[in-house]
Amino acid sequence: MFSISWLILLLTFLFGSVISQTNVDVQTLYTHLFTTNNYNKLVRPSRNQSYPNYLYVSFNLYGISGIDEIQQKLTTTGYLEIEWVDELLSWTPSQYGGLSYILYPQGDVWKPDISLQNGFSKLEDLGSKFISVNIDSSGHVIWRPFHVFESKCDIDSTYFPFDRQTCHLYFVARSLSERDVRLKRGSGIELVDDLQSHGEWNIVSTSSLNLRNQYETKVRFTIVIQRKPLYAIMNYILPIILLSILGVFTFTIPVDTGERIGYVITVWLAFAVFLTIINDSLPKSSETIPIVSIYIMIQISIGTLIVIISAIESRFVHLSDHEPVNTILLTFAQKCRKRRVQPETEIKKCMERDETCVTWKEAITALDKFLFWICLSFFVFSTMISLSIAGSK
């Protein structure tokens, strides 16, 4: 008990000047500032109106709530911290019981009409009625309007899903010219300690810049974000690569069974489905084409080629063995033949016909084998190239 009362005494002694202010002091100050001085919130708070007001703008980011790739929209949650000096709102603390700062509703003091220039939805007032500004005895005002900012962000999906996007937020004083106010970046973008993480995007870096032209000054905040690729790899990239492998194995199905065309058409359709899915989740743009779309297009083209080749092959495989085998096919067949032992009867049959002794079926099988290796190498090559280009970013 003894020590606590000592502590209270000590605190009263140390902070006496701060806590000695009364409600009457606050009320007197309000009356002095806003009634006696006849404060008008429409007047720019500079005693000499030839001087502009300097506004320091910083951005405190709570997190990214979402990125809409189709609409090219970035949604961020946070608050701006705008500071300026209101020369008409200053007092001497000692006259008001040591009162060093007051809070006042944002709608009742002069404030700049700062807004997001590259906003996505209609122009809105920053903050809201219940937000107060903090005014200290030297007239230094801090306004912290909280807002969910929806800004336009150009999405470049070339390197999807390893893409990195740079999004800008431009803040400008809508109707105040450069002669009235100067916007300056304060401490840039500050990420709050308990930053909300986003499932798909990581914030890589942030920066800020003062921009100025003849008519207006503005502050640009930049957020660089990187996609976390795991989701897209598991759901788009791996299935597409597996499908491509299936396409290559078309040539291991004998063409005379008639299964092959059905098989390759199915693979072709699956590619078309994936192309639709990918394109539905990326912005529709003719300026940049995602590498993954190009990759799918290449695989679809190869699929088409395989269908055509299979159709022609299935026609030839049913040709009578009395027809002479095409010379190019013949070379393939003879190359492959060395290792193969032919049934006795077949050799006899073809010996009667001519000395090369290659049947159509044999020739087609040899061609399939060759095409299989061609397709496999092309698959490996195109996949490696695509992955390395997309991943190099």
Ligand X SMILES: *[C@@H]1O[C@H](CO)[C@@H](O)[C@H](O)[C@H]1NC(C)=O
Q: Coil, strand, or helix at residue 217?
A: strand
Instruction: Count the site residues for ligand X by CB under 6 A.
Output: 2
Q: Which is nearer to ligand X, 27 or 49 (CB)?
A: 49
CB 179, min distance to ligand X, A: 12
Angle between helices 259-280 and 238-248 (to 10 degrees): 160
- Residue carrying structure tokens 């080629």: 305
What whole-number distance in Å separates Cα of residue 297 and Cα of residue 307? 15
Supply the DSSP symbol for 277.
Answer: H
From residue 6 to residue 45, what is the string marking binding to ligand X with x (rule CB under 6 A)? ----------------------------------------
CB 53, min distance to ligand X, A: 14
CB 114, min distance to ligand X, A: 25
Q: Coil, strand, or helix at residue 186?
A: strand
Q: Which is nearer to ligand X, 48 or 320 (CB)?
A: 48
Q: Which is nearer to ligand X, 50 or 213 (CB)?
A: 50
Q: Where are the beta strands (DSSP E) in 38-196?
A: 53-68, 73-85, 101-105, 114-116, 132-136, 140-143, 146-152, 164-173, 181-196
What whole-number distance in Å separates Cα of residue 304 and Cα of residue 249? 14
Closest CA to 83 of 62, 50, 58, 103: 58
> Contacts with ligand X in 101-160 (CB under 6 A)?
none
- By beta-carbon distance, which residue lies closest to ligand X? 48
Alpha carbon separation from 111 to 46, 47, 55, 166 (Å, rounded): 12, 16, 10, 30
Q: Which is nearer to ligand X, 29 or 88 (CB)?
A: 88
Q: Which is nearer to ligand X, 50 or 214 (CB)?
A: 50
CB 141, min distance to ligand X, A: 22
Assess 87 for contact with ligand X (CB under 6 A): no
Q: Which is nearer to ligand X, 48 or 286 (CB)?
A: 48
What single-letter amino acid sits at 349?
Answer: K
Phi/psi for 153 (5° steps) reads -140, 125
Q: Which is nearer to ligand X, 23 or 50 (CB)?
A: 50
What whole-number distance in Å separates Cα of residue 270 and Cα of residue 277? 11
Q: Which is nearer to ligand X, 86 or 156 (CB)?
A: 86
CB 34, min distance to ligand X, A: 24
Assess 320 for contact with ligand X (CB under 6 A): no
What whole-number distance in Å separates Cα of residue 71 and Cα of residue 90? 47
From residue 38 to residue 77, what is the string marking binding to ligand X with x (rule CB under 6 A)? ----------x-x---------------------------
CB 146, min distance to ligand X, A: 36
What whole-number distance in Å separates Cα of residue 173 and Cα of residue 55? 10
Q: Which is nearer to ligand X, 52 or 139 (CB)?
A: 52
CB 50, min distance to ligand X, A: 4
CB 213, min distance to ligand X, A: 23
| Beta carbons of 72 and 155 less than 8 angstroms apart | yes
> Contacts with ligand X in 93-112 (CB under 6 A)?
none
CB 49, min distance to ligand X, A: 8
What does the binding site for ligand X look like in residue numbers (CB under 6 A)?
Answer: 48, 50
